[in-house]
Structure formats: structure tokens, C-alpha cells
């Protein structure tokens, strides 16, 4: 079995305890960081997302896979500094909107996006519109993502968008939204370009967006 296949299988199985050793072994065998991220980790998380979407895997499986992915990335990230092999696909600013303290969905999206080569600026939970505006000014992101799990907090998203518009930044970013109560209709109503029902779909759409 190739070292990339072992890494891939460990992520799908949620084997976070052995993942760093497998990544180290792959690097020792001459695999590039780019190869490990794109052809093992990313592919595995997309597969996990697809299996979750089809009902083959459940949320605990998804969370374990995400933990394995995150553990692998924690080992890889220090090695990326100065690496000529890695070209970041783009920058994503993401946060759970004001009034909402949930972060599982947001963290899954972050893991998936990092696995696809994005630089991610995580604003955390209960994020007000001023913080989003400040983060856009400081990081010049390609995509700004709002996460929300409560129906009541969805009402805050238009306020966030208006603040971005008032700051003259709306045409500089692509907006994304996701969370249990969010629908394509909601995204369309407020001119949000990306809606994704799950983290796997979000990562795919992020990649498609920056390719344009």
C-alpha cells in the first residue's frame, strides 16, 4: 500500500492517532507536501463528505475524519512556510454570525477549505459585522463565509452584508453562507453567491470560485 493511500484511508477511518506518523513517513519517502495535501488529505475529506451526504457515514464519523485531517495539517503547516511547492488557492474569511455560538459546522468547513489549499482566517463565533469588515480590510479575502445554525441569527446576516456594502467592500469579495436553517432561496434573496448544504460541497464551490 502506498503511503498516500495509507494517509487517505486513515482520514476516512478517522484514525487521528496514527495520522501524523503516516504523514512523516510519506515525507521521509519523498512525497511532496503538495502531493500529500492534494492527493491524500483533500481527496479523503471530499470522499468523507460525499459518504456523509449519501448517509453512508454519520456525523460522529465526519467529526473523527475532520479531527484526523486537522491533526495532519497541524504537522504539515509548519513545514509549509517557505515551501515553493505550495501555492495557496485563495483566502477565506469565515465566522459564525452574531448571536450564534455554534462552531462544529464552521470548523468542518475550515478543515475542508484548508485541505483544498486555502488560507483560512477564522473569526470564531458570535461575530459582529464590524469584525467581518475589519477582517476583509486586513486580509483581502477572495471569499467571506457566514455560518449560522439558529434560525433567529439568520436575521443578522443582511446586517452583516449591508456593513460590507457600506464599507465599499462588497464587490471585492464573494459571499458564502451555510448552516442547518439556510437554504438556496435565502442565499438568493440576499445576493449571496455561494450556498452549500455541507462542508464538502462548500469546499468544492470555493475551489470553483477562485478558478474563475
Residues 50, 154 within the same domain: no
Residues 105, 136 within the same domain: yes
How would you classify the pairing of strands 118-122 and 90-96?
parallel
**85 in a domain, yes or no?**
no
Number of domains forming the structure of the chain = 2
- pLDDT value at residue 150: 86
Q: How many CB atoms lie within 10 A of CB 122?
A: 18
- pLDDT value at residue 82: 55
Residues 76, 102 within the same domain: no
pTM (two decimals)? 0.75
Has residue 83 got a pLDDT over 60? no
Which class for 28: exposed (0-12), middle (13-18), buried (19 or more C-beta within 10 A)?
exposed
Residues 98, 174 within the same domain: yes
* Percent of residues, the chain, with pLDDT higher than 70: 95
In order of 11, 38, 64, the CA distances from 76 in angstroms are 15, 13, 18
Has residue 81 got a pLDDT over 70? no
**112 in a domain, yes or no?**
yes
Helix pair angle (42-53, 59-80), 10° resolution: 160
Residues 99, 165 within the same domain: yes
Residues 104, 207 within the same domain: yes
**pLDDT, tens digit, for every residue of 103-113?**
888 888 888 88
Task: Please answer whether residues 192 and 97 qualify as being in contact, where contact means their C-beta atoms are separated by less than 8 angstroms.
Answer: no
**pLDDT, tens digit, for every residue of 90-137?**
999 999 999 998 888 888 888 888 877 888 999 999 999 999 999 999
Containing domain of residue 164, as a range? 90-211
Amino acid at each position: 500500500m502506498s503511503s498516500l493511500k495509507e494517509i487517505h484511508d486513515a482520514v476516512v477511518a478517522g484514525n487521528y492517532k496514527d495520522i501524523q506518523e503516516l504523514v512523516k513517513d510519506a515525507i521521509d519517502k519523498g512525497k511532496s507536501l503538495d502531493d500529500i495535501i492534494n492527493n491524500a488529505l483533500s481527496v479523503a475529506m471530499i470522499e468523507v463528505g460525499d459518504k456523509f451526504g449519501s448517509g453512508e457515514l454519520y456525523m460522529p464519523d465526519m467529526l473523527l475524519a475532520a479531527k484526523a485531517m486537522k491533526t495532519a495539517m497541524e504537522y504539515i503547516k509548519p513545514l509549509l512556510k517557505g515551501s515553493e511547492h505550495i501555492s495557496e488557492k485563495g483566502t477565506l474569511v469565515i465566522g459564525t454570525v452574531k448571536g450564534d455560538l455554534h462552531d462544529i459546522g464552521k470548523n468542518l468547513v475550515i478543515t475542508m477549505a484548508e485541505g483544498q489549499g486555502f488560507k483560512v482566517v477564522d473569526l470564531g463565533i458570535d461575530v459582529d459585522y464590524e469584525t467581518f469588515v475589519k477582517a476583509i480590510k486586513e486580509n483581502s479575502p477572495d471569499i467571506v463565509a457566514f455560518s449560522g445554525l439558529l434560525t433567529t441569527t439568520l436575521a443578522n446576516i443582511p446586517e452583516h452584508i449591508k456593513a460590507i456594502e457600506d464599507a465599499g467592500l462588497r464587490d471585492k469579495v464573494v459571499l458564502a453562507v451555510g448552516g442547518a436553517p439556510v437554504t438556496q432561496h435565502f442565499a438568493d434573496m440576499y445576493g449571496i453567491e455561494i450556498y452549500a448544504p455541507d462542508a464538502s460541497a462548500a469546499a468544492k464551490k470555493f475551489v470553483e470560485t477562485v478558478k474563475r
